[in-house]
Amino acid sequence: MKLKNNTILITGGTSGFGLEFAKRLLELGNTVIVTGRDPIKLASAKKNLAGLHIFQSDVSNPEEIANLYKTVIAQFPKLNVLINNAGQMRKISLHDSSIGLLDITREIETNLMGPIRMVQAFIPHLKQIPSAAILNVTSGLALVPFPISPIYGATKSGLRSYTKSLRVQLKNTRIKVFELIAPAAKTPLNDEFRNLDGYNVKQMNPVELVDIAFNGMEKDKYEIYPGVARVLYFMSRIAPGFMLRTLSKAGSKEMAG
Ligand SMILES: NC(=O)c1ccc[n+]([C@@H]2O[C@H](COP(=O)([O-])OP(=O)(O)OC[C@H]3O[C@@H](n4cnc5c(N)ncnc54)[C@H](OP(=O)(O)O)[C@@H]3O)[C@@H](O)[C@H]2O)c1
């Protein structure tokens, strides 16, 4: 696909990958719209990136998605690319009985139900556009569980499975379906993991990640594995038990109960 002259909606575009995507896509001459929950982060992104359009919208809330769809399509009828990037990752001990039944699934609502609902809302519009694309941001942790983040891994495996089905179901449309299997990177999402016992992972710079994502999208590579994600892909097939044992070392004390 071409990365110029598109109208692109990025969920969670106020920090990390989403902000870097927005910056670079604006530089390439695209119209870029980002969402997020925090109005201060949205205002700061708009101030720093000339031409950026912002909408406050929580991807875990179906009503907010429906409103976002109506407002964005009314203002940007040429919208042709959806990047499902918003995500959260928590360190969770399953021994912790203070975590409530609603709270335990919070990441599922944002990371899995959010993109599924966004796609459901935007597909009828995207199908009418001559050249359209959806990029779902999954993770190397879709390939191998990271036991200290048990819900996160489940959401990313779920999103990966859904993305494969989506690609098959859209094969007779003009919508291209991409998956970015992102490796650990230097973004705020990783803040609470940096000092975790047994966590010894090289973190990619988001600039490099976006370079690789763009290269893959321009070549119509539908599954893009930057850096260590490629290694995880092969290792998860050759030695899944070894990979699980390796990733189980992070936070092993906190998970001991
Ligand atoms: N960083 C990594 O190591 C890594 C590795 C693999 C995959 N990923 C994936 O990459 C994506 C981006 O992560 P990141 O590292 O760039 O994280 P980040 O810097 O924490 O950014 C997350 C973005 O999502 C927004 N967001 C969070 N919950 C939201 C919600 N319910 N509705 C709307 N927006 C929401 C945040 O803004 P608000 O808080 O204001 O809403 C923020 O703009 C995520 O899907 C993540 O799972 C990251």
User: What does the pLDDT look like over 81-120, one tens digit per residue?
Assistant: 999 999 999 999 999 999 999 999 999 999 999 999 999 9
pLDDT of residue 253: 84
* pLDDT at res. 201: 82
Q: Label residue 14 left, alpha or beta by phi (over 0 means left) and psi (-120 to 50 means alpha).
A: alpha
The span from the CA of 19 to the CA of 15, in Å, is: 5
- pLDDT higher than threshold 90 for residue 200: no
Q: Which residue has the tokens 């036991």?
A: 147
**Mean predicted confidence (pLDDT) in 38-59:** 98
Contact assessment for residue 218 and residue 3, using Cβ atoms and an 8 Å cutoff: yes
The pLDDT value given to residue 197 = 83
Minimal-distance CA residue to ligand 1 atom 42: 12
Contacts of 25 (CB under 8 A, 6+ apart): 3, 6, 8, 10, 32
| Domains of the chain with bracketed CATH | 7-256 (3.40.50.720)
Of 220, 189, 256, 239, the C-alpha closest to 15 is 189
Amino acid at site 140: G
Judge whether residue 212 has pLDDT over 80. yes
Say what the pLDDT of residue 210 is. Answer: 98
86 C-alpha to ligand 1 centroid (Å): 4
Average pLDDT, the chain: 96
For residue 100, report the distance from its CA to the centre of ligand 1, in Å. 22
pLDDT at 135: 98
Q: Which one of 19, 23, 24, 37 would you pick to mutate in the ligand 1 pocket, going by the greatest count of ligand atoms within 8 A of its CB?
A: 37
The band of 255, judged by pLDDT with boundaries at 50, 70 and 90, is confident
CB atoms inside a 10 Å sphere around CB 166: 20
Quote the Cα angle for 204-144-189, to 5°: 40
pLDDT, tens only, 164-199: 999 999 999 999 999 999 999 999 999 888 878 888
- Who has greater pLDDT, 113 or 253? 113
Using CA atoms, how far apart are residues 155 and 147, in angstroms rounded to an integer? 13
User: What's this model's pTM, rounded to 2 decimal places?
Assistant: 0.98
pLDDT at 192: 86
Residue 178: closest CA among 107, 84, 89, 80: 84
162: confidence class by pLDDT, cuts 50, 70, 90: very high
Nearest atom within ligand 1 for CA of residue 180: 7
Given a cut of 80, whether residue 257 has pLDDT beyond it is no
Mean pLDDT (whole number) for 69-83? 98
Name which of 17-31, 73-87, 183-197, 216-230 the model is least confident about.
183-197
pLDDT at 134: 98
